Structure formats: C-alpha cells, structure tokens
Amino acid sequence: MIIARESGFTMVELMITLVVVAILLAAAVPFLGDFTRNNRLVGQSNDIASSIQLARSEAVKQGVNTVICPSSDLTSCSNNAADWQNGWLVFSDFNLDGDLDAGASAPLCEATEDCLMKTGTGIDYKNTLTTTATLLRFLPTGLASNGGTVTFRLVSDKCHIDQARDIKITTQGHTLVSTVACP
C-alpha cells in the first residue's frame, strides 16, 4: 500500500516567513522616502540645468542673445526671483529687452524675432527653488552676462542630510550641479 504524502507548508514555516518579511519591510520603508525625495530632486535639478544649457547652446548655435527668466504664467517673464518656483521661459532675445515678445511662441519663428524654445513647468512636491537672479542672459559667445556666478538652490521639502542641490552658472556659461547639506 502506497501512502500519499501531502505537500505544503506548515503553520510554523508560514509564521517564520511572515516575520522575516515584516522585518525586511520595517528596515526598507524608511529609506524608500529618502530614495523618492532624492530622485525627485535629481530630476528637478536636471530639468533646470538642461534649460540653462539649452539657452547657452542656442545662443552659440544661432549667434544671438538668449534669455532664461522666471515666469508665473509661462507666457511672459517676471521680475520676481521667487517666480522661478512656478516656471521659466527660454527664448532668443533679438531686441535685447529681456522680455518675450507677443507671438514668439509660434512653432516657426522668423530669424529676426524672439523665439520661445522651452517652458519649464516649475518645481513641485513642495520643494523650494531660490536664487537672487531675475534673468539669465547668454551672449552669442556662450558667456553669461550676469556679472558673476549665479546660484540656484533647490531644497527638498523634508530635507535630510544632503537633500539639497546647488546649480551654479559661471561667467563662462558653464553649469555646475552639486549636492549640498540641508540649510
């Protein structure tokens, strides 16, 4: 007579497995919040840096002055440095007035008028972006004409240890992103 043996897990094995999973989750969950905040911060700082680099490269490529400025409505520049938080505009500035001309958002721009290249949608998730600059201008040579280094500081909403980034634009037009300690 053949006796059939039942396969499966015993209650003790299941309980031990659940305890091990609970311990692993308890250790991993606190780091998940930091991981998410760091990834958001990296993404947002890369978005700002890429917009700045676009303005510089288009200035050199097109041989015109380009501007990146804060915007509260994504259609015109703002003179308030706090509006970088809401968004920014990147455009060619043919008349050197530092403002995007009406109709410049058309997909095809004339060679003698301002041309909108990019709009940045701003900083979300309660992170903060601060700077004293109300406008960045790049000359056709690629140099920044702001008279010195401009620094943007991006800080996570629940800043922990080094969840802040400095984005520096040198007079030569180079963009440097670095991790800094929380303020």
Whichever domain contains 54, its CATH number is: 3.55.40.10
- Position 176 scores a pLDDT of 95
Contacts (Cβ under 8 Å, ≥6 apart) of 11: none
- Position 104 scores a pLDDT of 65
Q: Is residue 4 part of a domain?
A: no
- Position 47 scores a pLDDT of 94
Q: Is residue 6 part of a domain?
A: no
Q: 3-class SS at 85?
A: helix
Helix (H) or strand (E) holding 14: helix 11-62
Q: Is residue 7 part of a domain?
A: no
Q: Is residue 2 part of a domain?
A: no
Q: What is each CA distance from 56 to 22, 31, 183, in whole angstroms?
A: 51, 37, 29
Domain coverage including residue 114? 12-180
Q: Is residue 1 part of a domain?
A: no
pLDDT of the chain, 183 residues: tens digit per residue: 677 777 788 889 899 999 999 998 888 777 787 888 888 889 999 999 999 999 999 999 999 999 999 999 988 899 999 899 999 999 998 888 888 887 666 666 776 788 889 999 888 878 999 998 999 999 999 999 988 899 999 998 888 788 899 999 999 999 999 999 888
Helix (H) or strand (E) holding 128: strand 128-130
Rounded to 5, what percent of the chain is helix, strand, coil? 30, 20, 45
Give me the residue label for tokens 């999973």. 21
- Position 9 scores a pLDDT of 81
How far does Cα 159 stand from its chain's mean position? 16
How far does Cα 19 stand from its chain's mean position? 40
Q: What is the pTM of this model?
A: 0.82
For residues 45 and 177, the answer to whether their CB atoms sit within 8 Å is yes
The total number of structural domains in the chain stands at 1
